[in-house]
Structure 1
Amino acid sequence: MKAQVFRGVNQLNYEEVPVPELQSDEVLVQVRVVGLCQSDIKKICYPLYEPPRIYGHETAGVIAGVGEDVKGWQVGQRVVVMHHIPCMRCGYCLNDNFSMCEVYKNITTTAGFTPSGGGFAEYVKVPGHIVRSGGLIPIPDRVSFEQASFVEPTSCCLKAVKKAQVSPGQTVLVTGAGPIGLMFIMLVKYFGARAIATDLIPSRIEKALAVGAEAAFDARDADLQQKVFSLTEGMGVDTTLLAVPSDKAFFQALHCTRKGGKILFFAEFPDEVEIPINPNILYRREIDLMGSYSSSYRLQSLAADIVFNQRIDVDALISDRYPLQKLAKAVEQAIKPTPDTYKILIYPQATVG
């Protein structure tokens, strides 16, 4: 089969690799669509993991093989593949910190080499633990593979929205109107809150309004705080969701978030970035700082329901489609987006674009 193999920093090689061999409790999935995620880009562009590896984890496809001990799954079924499932027994899992679980971190889907997601290949193998523990989700007939590939990123964003306790009537500032920021806007609106968005690209500011933001501003606007306060009766927003790794965005969040509000870090910052802050700001204004990494198993079914029943419009997030052989070009576009670049989808089985 063909796969895009990570051979070193910024080195992707479109090459022939063996189709993964199944153990008795494993499932083989033919990948139809896989989303390009910022975490994939980070792993490709920085020396974080030793090559060779095959990345890609926002995967939707068709079951192409099942081990002899697998129950409840058949060849031909359309499925979403979740690349991590927690153990549900460790101290982290018992406290709902599923993404900290060692099983969650270390058992993942693979197309060969060190297991690393494996979606950037024609076929991906799903380990027995993931098969047995809810990591395959049937795709309804009415739902396209493209739509289904959004279940995993929706689950990640949904975890952040739930952790921040976004609720009806609140106002939420979303910094960054890329594909993740736009999904945040949709989810905030779905849960009955109002979204205010910021970005640096005019077309993304317009896109934020199109997908449901009540207001959207240039992040460089000198009057941003005043405009946010005018929309919130002089109080500031209840919560800010940081969807871009920017220290400037963080300080804007401090200025725009009300006393007793929350600021949630969703985007991962470069390790060398340090943000100086006077702790009395948090103390006197009772601001909660929190982080949200990856997804929550407890919200996986809700994420699938939201996508499958079109409670948010994931089709509006798709901007580009690339065949697998052009993954490097897709990564380049994601790093240097055009004004109309949002979510990029990759197709191992077909030539597109």
Structure 2
Amino acid sequence: MEIPKLSEGDILVKMKACGLCGTDVEKICGQYTASQPIIGHEPTGIIEESRAEGYKKGERVFAHHHVPCYECYYCKKGSPTMCPYYRKTNIEPGGFSEYFRVPAWNVERGGVLKLPDNVSFDEGSFIEPLATVVRGQRRVKIDEGDTVLVVGAGPMGLLHVMTAKRNKAKQVVISDVSDFRVEFASTIADYSLNSTKVKVQEEVRKLTDGRGADVAIIASGAPRAILDGLRSVRKGGRVLLFGVPFKGTVLDYDVSDLLNNEISVISSNAAVEEDTREALKMLENREVNVEKLVTHHFPLDQFEDAVRISKEGKTIKAVIYS
């Protein structure tokens, strides 16, 4: 493809690192339901050309792909990711390219962050996914001393574990169906469970004097994962729906349990600039160790190999570099 042409206010970035997200793989497979099919939304790089005030060639940056207007009804009511402009914005042609254009809309609304010297390109590629975790945990509200269950030990689930610990959770339990991921997660969470070998709700209750988790974070869209989270939370507890279910997902669940046990179910979708700024601050201050999650690096010309091993479940986080 040709290098994108710039208009006034745009920035051209030479990509240095871009994380491969599970949603990218789902888009490639035609399974993702939440946004347009442009892939590569965790990019960092070096400004190659700038037509925007305050940004110059050679600066190291992260670029956010979706940016709301901050002026509409949804934005003013505290639902900026529901802004009608949010999903319409993106980087061109996506983060998995040697060069990408950040449109003036994104730049003007704070969608480009300059990376501090102590934040590597790899670490910067975690700003967007970490920001979605920051927003999700802010919405579900983790209190100091909480027991938190995270269902799904992929990179997003593991970021939730790290962030819950940073938010002073007393203990964090994680579950998954993959032996590889369960073993990897055991180095990060307090307890790591294989949900094909144990009943998650029973194990969580053993760890909480029979109560259940204060907060269950469901970092998977699988129906079984959602049910594990709903059934493992205590009376009066909170459930965060974070992983994106496939369209048409239906649960076999007695909804009366929600009311009778006063369980709060909260969803969280994506992130905005207050979240990306907080995520970058966490990385700069070494509050989370995201590099630990990178198990594979691939040059851009081996992108198909990265997708293949991700689909095969042989990686935690793959980062594409150029």
Q: Indicate which of 225, 236, 241 corresponds to 1:265.
A: 241
CA apart distance, 1:34:
0.5
**2:206 aligned with 1:230, yes or no?**
yes
> SS of the counterpart of 1:250?
helix
Q: Indicate which of 256, 261, 267 corresponds to 1:291.
A: 267
Gaps of 5+ in 1: 1-16, 112-117
Give the 3 Å change call, closer, same or farther, for CA 222–131 of structure 1 in structure 2: closer
> SS of the counterpart of 1:61?
strand
CA apart distance, 1:203:
3.4
Q: Which residue of 1 aligns with 2:317?
A: 343
d(CA) in 1 for partners of 2:114, 2:98: 19
What amino acid is the match of 1:107?
T
Q: Which residue of 2 aligns with 1:143?
A: 119
**2:72 aligned with 1:90, yes or no?**
yes
CA apart distance, 1:223:
4.5
CA apart distance, 1:247:
1.6
d(CA) in 2 for partners of 1:206, 1:139: 32
CA apart distance, 1:192:
0.3
d(CA) in 2 for partners of 1:206, 1:91: 45
Q: Which residue of 1 aligns with 2:168?
A: 192
The share of aligned pairs that are identical, in percent, is 32
CA apart distance, 1:200:
2.1
**2:250 aligned with 1:274, yes or no?**
yes
> SS of the counterpart of 2:85?
helix
Q: Per-residue displacement from partner, 1:73-95 (whole Å, max 9, x unpaired)?
A: 11000001111211111111112
**2:85 aligned with 1:103, yes or no?**
yes
Q: How does 1:193-208 map to 2 (within 5 A)?
A: 193=169, 194-208=171-185
Moved more, 228-237 or 184-193: 228-237
Q: Per-residue displacement from partner, 1:144-186 (whole Å, max 9, x unpaired)?
A: 1111111011001111111110121001100111111111110
d(CA) in 2 for partners of 1:44, 1:319: 21
> CA RMSD of the aligned region, Å?
1.7
CA apart distance, 1:142:
1.7
Q: Which residue of 2 aligns with 1:330?
A: 306
Instruction: Name the TM-score, length of structure 1 as normaliser.
Output: 0.87
Q: Indicate which of 155, 178, 188 corresponds to 2:154.
A: 178
d(CA) in 1 for partners of 2:4, 2:199: 56
Paired residues of 1:185 and 1:208 also in contact (CA < 8 A): no
Gaps of 5+ in 2: none
Paired residues of 1:86 and 1:297 also in contact (CA < 8 A): no
Q: How does 1:45-56 map to 2 (within 5 A)?
A: 45-46=29-30, 55-56=39-40
